Structure 1
Amino acid sequence: MKTDFKFSNLLGTVYRKGNLVYTSDGTCLLSPVGNRVTVFDLVNNKSHTLPFSHRTNIARIALHPRGQLLLTVDEQGHAILSHFQRRVVLYHFSLKSAVTALVFSPCGRYFAVAIGRKIEVWKTPSTPGSSEGDERGGLEFAPFIRYRQYAGHHDAVQSIEWSSDSRFFLSASKDLTARIWSLDPEEGFTPTTLAGHRAAVYAAWFSADQETIYTISKDGALFRWQYLPSPDADLDNIAEDDERWRISERHYFYQSREHAHLTTAAFHPSTNLLVTGFSHGLFMIHELPSFSEIHKLSISASHIDTISVSPDGSWLAFGSSALGQLLVWEWQSESYILKQQGHFANLNALTYSPSGDRIITTSDDGKVKVWDTASGFCIVTFTEHTSGVTACEFARRGNVLFTASLDGSVRAFDLIRYRCFRTFTAPKRLSFSSIAVDPSGEVVAAGSLDDFDIHIWSVQTGQLLDQLSGHEGPVSSLAFAPNGGNLVSGSWDRTVRIWSVFARTQTSEPLQLQADVLCVSVRPDSKQLAVSTLDGQLTFWSLSEGTQETGLDGRRDVSGGRKISDRRTAANVAGTKSFNTVTYSADGSVVLAAGNSKYICLYAVETGVLLKKYTVSVNLSLEGTQEFLNSRLLTEAGPRGLLDDQGEASDLEDRMDNSLPGSKRGDAAQRKTAPEVRVPGVAFSPTGRAFCAASTEGLLVYSLDAAVRFDPFDLDVDVTPESTIAALKKQEYLKALAMSFRLNSPKLITHVYRSVPVQDIGLVVRDLPADVYLERLLRHVAKEADASPHLEFNLLWLEALLRTHGRFLKERQGEFAEVVRLVQRAVGRVQGEVMKVADGNGHAVEFLLAQPRKSVKLVEMDGEGVLGAAEDGEEDQSMGEGDDEREWIGLD
């Protein structure tokens, strides 16, 4: 089995903090999710996460006007310059301090960054192949050069806005002023200060004609500035000193709620739209300069952090960090383009659907979310549980999901109609922590940490069938054998019991272990059992004989990372680490194990060898990710990260502690320290090409198809993209297909594949070397069937492949099992779509046939033509009352 899994996508988190950025064409939205950046394709309804990551959470992002360069800066001022289309990191550098604003100039030659009360303008590195790069002679040795530094504000700068010609820019600061700066020294220009606000100025913008400036402050005051003479000046003889920027109009946002203030604002010059967001979740749209209100809507229960307007001004993007919400709103039609929200509490469990196209996650917030693996979006959220959901599992047959919760209930959800159709409860109030479903889907079992019994219900009737007694401690994990014969339970009494649920006697002999059992997992062939214990041991047992086959010590493998309060090094904390979750792969050759650590370990079952360690996160904003502590952050009072510096903030609202009991707003149990990195659940996809992990940062997806890899198999100097296209033009289709597979370029393979004529598909498949290219071609056709609209063309390829090489596939079932599953899934999806269209057409035909039938009577006059016809709705007199046939009387 291949083990070179790469990070593919991040689900479950759509926005953390920072600003949102649209691409130049307005079709994609870039959102910072922790220390990564996720790109949401709003037109094709897909999302992907860029592969690079920062060491701390991202604070600001900016995209070059041409759309090639992406600049991201984290909380500590470390910046990464990457190529947006190729998803490749180009350069790392540090700005030495936290950044509060970042924006490229419209010409693309510079970018301005606000660092505290200073503003720095840097030259943008050139990219190869662009006109700028040709003018400068290609790439520079030192790509980042600071062009100029501006100082004048007395407090932190919150916003920077360029003029359309890139000669001037505006800055807004907490010192109650906004300033106009010149990029280069201009003759007759002096830096201007716009003062008059009574609260911190949040943003300032130029109008489209550059003749007007708008400034907005935290208290909701909007000022319009124009270059006007003094009111006392003589209009007939105006001196140059009398003209200056003056306030021409004042407008105010009045909010009825107490303590509601403006948190963010955005202005679109070409359409004169002003969008403002407030601390109580309300946003407003005004048209300037008339300040007429267009729209007002409340989208969140918490404050809005950032607003972004698309280049054409039709879509508005809102981000709220308190609940992790991301919203794209089309204000003209008043409809949602995108509305996503992740879990705002810790993830507890996850599972794949049997088809592999859905991932289900559960959390402490009481919600169950269903994620689409193809698009990366949440398609449905179940909120029936009233407390944290601790476990979930799919029935192997049908689209039924079972969840266990701390509210004392086990629920069954129908994922076709998206509803809860059954609720299972125990005779007494229990907090269920584990669940297992019989492969037939007829019986569901649940265990609790409050009781030592295992409860079993009938799915059909919802009645409690039995309570299995025998454990002397809380039941921590349950698993049914895939063959349906046994139920395996693990407990804190250091035993694993194997129950024969459907037999007459339900006694079991315990398997004794050396520590508390945390997780049990059964191999897909129902012959082996993997058990994880509290002492970090991973043991494998024979399910039929009840004997231990092998074992391994994983304490050193899972250990790593230190908390701020740790007094021991990361290497010496190994004794406290263990695996909380274990799962087998589809073929049972490897297991994935993870726990309260930043590592996911992949082991070979037969040899017990550690094949690979995957690092979940390197984000230093989380606890437990750093290997070495910085002694400079240690003070006499303890680690600096644990000290409460809230009382030293500059603003009164930041100094106020709203987390105390009895306060008007806030959570009394609000977390003051950073969240700890942990992996409560891992799962392999049914195809074996990917696995997902529920972590503190979200739902991480690792895949074998994450990136384009160059595979130099059977490659020589004559195999190039140009020679492949030449062979295709010569109608040498098999040769072109083989050359494209050797180059392993997805675009080239797709081009050659779609260029093969329908009548030649059978010949190409017949002469294809099956042992070399059959697996690749099947995989490509399955992906094409999922993504392309050419239904019949893809099915003709599949029919030819299976008809010609079916016996070869049957002889090597183990080798091609995963590819065959992909083909089955693709065919099943096509079948479902075709059947849906056919059913719709059938209903339409039935409706048309059920309408009353009318006849039209045509009359011939002297053989010269038609004189007239019967009026619409008039019955033909020649038809009998019971005659259902339509009669036409007309020209012979």
Structure 2
Amino acid sequence: LEAHAAVKAIAFSPNGKMFAVALSEGSLITYNTLTWIRAHQHKEHSPVVCIAFSPNNRHLAFGHRDMTCHVWDFFSGETLLVLEGHTDWVNSVAFSPCGKQIASVSNDSTIRLWSSETGECLFVLSGHEDIVLSARYAADGRRLVSGSKDGAIRVWDPETGTPGADWVIPRINCSRVALSADGQQLAVMNFSKSSEICLVDAITGEKGLILDDGTSWLTDIAFSPIGELIVSSSKDKTVRLWDTSNGQLISRLSGHTNRITTCVFSPDGLQIASGDVDGIIRLWEVSTNGSSSNTQQLVAQVRTLTYSHDGLCIISDRVNGTIQRWDSFTGVSRSISLPPAPDVYSVALSPNGRWLASGIKGNIRLSNVETDVVERVKLEGHTDAVYSVAYSSCGKWILSGSRDKTARLW
């Protein structure tokens, strides 16, 4: 999708069928996501800073630099409401899950709650000491959470406009983050404190336990898909298994003879795979803390690895351009040679197990890992290293994130 002005904000409708874009010159454009054909266009008198879809997928709320919020029916093209009251730019807007309330936040350090039916200002929430950057409703609509440049995250009752508990999320110099399977907890590798894993409550933002045994620089972390376990790898050639419920180190898994670059749990949580710079991948049984199969060594360094969705095989990518496919139970492997590629920063396997997406510098490489025929497709558009790639569950979409500060949907 190409526009002829800077993109200020984007949003998907709740049902995923519409996509909205706000441009710096005041245009609002909606697209049909099945065809990606432009559906509607509307021009505002001043730049739109933020947008949000209503739960009924029909209305857009957007905030202006002129200190107002508008509600637009993009099917009829009619402006339904103009919400006035802020004394500075509006930075973010959000609909409540029921659709009856709109929250807006501003550079004036306040949050305003509005009736989406009448446009009446219901409450003005004060308490932040600096610009308010965003606000989001909880899924049940009973809490509103706001974040500010003052470093504080505050919780509000949107029914009464009264504040709840507030806390400050510490500014962690994050180098990598992992999310637990239940979405309740974040694990963060602290770049400035190289041996620490910080646990953060993903719901409340509260900083939790610190996992640290004074090891050397961490290289990777991953949550188990079951239970309360985290695996970490480090430059000291050791894999560590942690209990997130109490912060205790359960075991150190030794066997690598050089720096470990990556680690990951199998989909059933019963195995761990780890790879090092010498090209060795080890499989570990989580229950016994032992290697579950003979390790195999190639002549090239392992850069990244991933399990197939059924857990039956592991795919590894090496610096010599070789993709290796391993049986996770027997350790038997076969390789597919590819022309050498630049550094691979991330990999993801398609749900059908056929295509490996590898994030490299400036593009994504798709490789067929089921056949011995070299099939390669390049998705080009990023201008720097692609640090993260992920397939949608249907396998039709790839999402990529890059050091160039953009995310792309393919």
TM over 0.5: yes
In structure 2, the partner of 1:139 is none
Q: CA deviation at 1:477?
A: 0.4
In structure 2, the partner of 1:92 is none
2:229 maps to 1:435 = no
Which AA in structure 1 matches 2:133?
A: K
Is 1:583–1:682's contact at 8 Å kept on the other side of the alignment?
Answer: yes
Is 2:358–2:366's contact at 8 Å kept on the other side of the alignment?
Answer: yes
CA distance in 1, matches of 2:309, 2:283: 16
Q: CA deviation at 1:464?
A: 1.1
Q: CA deviation at 1:478?
A: 0.2
2:355 maps to 1:590 = yes
Which AA in structure 1 matches 2:212?
A: T
2:234 maps to 1:448 = yes
Q: CA deviation at 1:416?
A: 4.1
Q: How does 1:483-882 map to 2 (within 5 A)?
A: 483-503=268-288, 505-506=290-291, 509-553=294-338, 555=340, 577-595=342-360, 597-607=361-371, 609-610=374-375, 612-617=377-382, 625=383, 677-698=384-405, 700-702=407-409
Change (3 A) 1:31 1:424: farther
Q: CA deviation at 1:490?
A: 0.7
Is 2:325–2:333's contact at 8 Å kept on the other side of the alignment?
Answer: yes
Change (3 A) 1:382 1:453: farther
Q: CA deviation at 1:50?
A: 4.4
Change (3 A) 1:467 1:535: same
Which AA in structure 1 matches 2:355?
A: V
- 1:616 counterpart SS class: strand
The correspondence for 2:9, drawn from 22, 38, 42, is: 38
CA distance in 2, matches of 1:591, 1:549: 15
Change (3 A) 1:477 1:40: closer
CA distance in 1, matches of 2:320, 2:106: 45
The correspondence for 1:425, drawn from 212, 218, 221, is: 212
Higher-strand-fraction structure: 2
Higher-helix-fraction structure: 1
CA distance in 1, matches of 2:376, 2:270: 32
Aligned length: 309
Which AA in structure 1 matches 2:226?
A: S
Q: CA deviation at 1:530?
A: 1.0
Which AA in structure 1 matches 2:409?
A: Y
Deviations 1:343-390 (A, max 9, x none): xxxxxxxxxxxxxxxxxxxxxxxxxxxxxxxxxxxxxx9944633332
Which AA in structure 1 matches 2:258?
A: G
CA distance in 2, matches of 1:328, 1:384: 22
Q: How does 1:350-389 map to 2 (within 5 A)?
A: 383-384=169-170, 386-389=172-175
In structure 2, the partner of 1:467 is 252
Which AA in structure 1 matches 2:279?
A: R
Q: Which structure would you say has the larger Rg?
A: 1
CA distance in 2, matches of 1:411, 1:68: 41
Q: CA deviation at 1:491?
A: 0.8
2:264 maps to 1:479 = yes
Which AA in structure 1 matches 2:216?
A: L
In structure 2, the partner of 1:292 is none
Q: How does 1:123-142 map to 2 (within 5 A)?
A: none
In structure 1, the partner of 2:197 is 410
Report the RMSD for the aligned CA atoms in angstroms.
Answer: 4.4
Could you tell me the percent identity over the aligned residues?
Answer: 18
- TM-score, L = length of structure 2: 0.61
Q: CA deviation at 1:421?
A: 3.8
Q: How does 1:281-430 map to 2 (within 5 A)?
A: 307-310=65-68, 314-315=85-86, 316-317=88-89, 327=106, 339-340=133-134, 383-384=169-170, 386-395=172-181, 397=182, 399-406=184-191, 407=193, 408-426=195-213, 428-430=214-216
- TM-score, L = length of structure 1: 0.30
CA distance in 2, matches of 1:679, 1:382: 31
Q: CA deviation at 1:521?
A: 0.6
Can you give the 5+ residue segments of structure 1 that lack an aligned partner in the other structure? 1-6, 9-29, 42-46, 52-59, 70-82, 89-102, 107-160, 162-265, 267-305, 320-325, 342-380, 559-576, 618-624, 626-676, 704-892
Is 1:532–1:580's contact at 8 Å kept on the other side of the alignment?
Answer: no
Change (3 A) 1:392 1:327: same
Which AA in structure 2 matches 1:400?
A: Q
Can you give the 5+ residue segments of structure 2 that lack an aligned partner in the other structure? 13-17, 31-36, 48-63, 71-81, 92-104, 113-120, 136-166
Q: CA deviation at 1:460?
A: 3.0
Is 2:237–2:258's contact at 8 Å kept on the other side of the alignment?
Answer: yes
Change (3 A) 1:414 1:86: same
Q: How does 1:56-75 map to 2 (within 5 A)?
A: 61-63=24-26
Kindly report structure 1 stretches of 4+ aligned residues shifted beyond 6 Å: 330-333
Which AA in structure 2 matches 1:410?
A: I
CA distance in 2, matches of 1:382, 1:524: 38
Bigger relative CO (Cα 8 Å, ≥ 6 apart): 1
Q: CA deviation at 1:456?
A: 1.5
Change (3 A) 1:385 1:38: closer
CA distance in 1, matches of 2:20, 2:376: 26
In structure 1, the partner of 2:164 is none
In structure 2, the partner of 1:836 is none
Deviations 1:285-309 (A, max 9, x none): xxxxxxxxxxxxxxxxxxxxx9544
Is 1:39–1:49's contact at 8 Å kept on the other side of the alignment?
Answer: yes
Which AA in structure 2 matches 1:604?
A: N
CA distance in 1, matches of 2:106, 2:4: 11
- 2:351 counterpart SS class: coil
Is 2:67–2:90's contact at 8 Å kept on the other side of the alignment?
Answer: no
- 1:488 counterpart SS class: strand
- 2:133 counterpart SS class: strand
Q: How does 1:55-134 map to 2 (within 5 A)?
A: 61-63=24-26, 86=40
Is 1:440–1:484's contact at 8 Å kept on the other side of the alignment?
Answer: yes
- 2:352 counterpart SS class: coil
